[in-house]
Amino acid sequence: MTRPLTAPPPTCAAGSPADLLPLLYDPDQSYGWSAGMRAVTRALLARLDLPRGPLLEIGCGGAQLLTDLATDYPLHRVYGVDVHPLALARAQARLNGHAALIRAPLQRLPWPDATFALVLALDVFDQTGVDLTAALAESYRLLAPGGSLLLRLSAHPRLYGPHDVAFHTGRRYARRQIVTALHGAGFTVTRATYANITLGGPVAALRLLQRARLAPWSPAPYRNRLANVVAAWLLRREAAWLRHADLPVGLSLCVIAEK
């Protein structure tokens, strides 16, 4: 089992972190970070030349991205898998038959070898309880030759704190760690870039203060309408940049690897 580089704080200055994972399943798509990062994902995918075959999102949540994939890749069958009943219920309501949904653990997925042209795992392999080595091995097994894996993970281990506890993040990764792990699983890394740079400075500073218990943690900003509008707008500007070039730093690490 993969262990966090630093132990998560059991509480923060304002008390125990709330469980904010359901925000990612929001049927109204009002969580600005989620909306903006979908634009980042589509920008990264725009440069990929995929082989024939279906597409799979591991940890599909409320299926916001699956609807984008079904639109962007009409010639590919789209599948989503998750273990959370709430996520799958909201995904089913949103998709209306445009993608197939399955409930299964990510280490034992019910497809034969070399099935998929693309596997996406966005803020999934860094979750609490995930064995990174096993998750990468399963992704490699599922991909057809020439297929690609798109990973997004929480970056910079020293930023681990109440935010991560609230979103069930078990570990934040350094770029070298994930690249080494991918090579060890047999992948060829074709792109590694950061994302979420525009908010990175002030957010990183706040999280370091919260980690040191010098600033309170509160779930209120995550539900603030103006903050979500601003976050979505900034991340969409980043997405436009990422269609052409990488970013040198950011709160998220995005890596594309080919089988």
Task: Report whether pLDDT(14) > 50.
Answer: no
113 part of a folded domain: yes
Task: Report whether pLDDT(13) > 50.
Answer: no
The torsion angles phi and psi of 16, rounded to 5 degrees, stand at: -70, 140
We report the CATH number of the domain holding residue 50 as 3.40.50.150
103 part of a folded domain: yes
Please tell me the distance from the alpha carbon of residue 196 to that of residue 172, in angstroms, as a whole number.
Answer: 15
Per-residue pLDDT of 33-81, as tens digits, reads 999 999 999 999 998 999 999 999 999 988 899 999 999 999 999 999 9
Per-residue pLDDT of 140-187, as tens digits, reads 999 999 999 999 999 999 999 999 999 999 999 999 999 999 999 999
| Helix-, strand-, coil-residue percentages of the chain, each rounded to 5 | 40, 20, 40
15 part of a folded domain: no
8 part of a folded domain: no
150 part of a folded domain: yes
Which distant-in-sequence residues (6+ apart) come within 8 Å of 74 by Cβ?
Answer: none
Beta bridge partners of 79: 56, 100
In the chain, the number of structural domains is 1
142 part of a folded domain: yes
pLDDT above 70 coverage of the chain, percent: 92
109 part of a folded domain: yes
Mean pLDDT (the chain, rounded): 89
Range of the domain at 158: 21-258
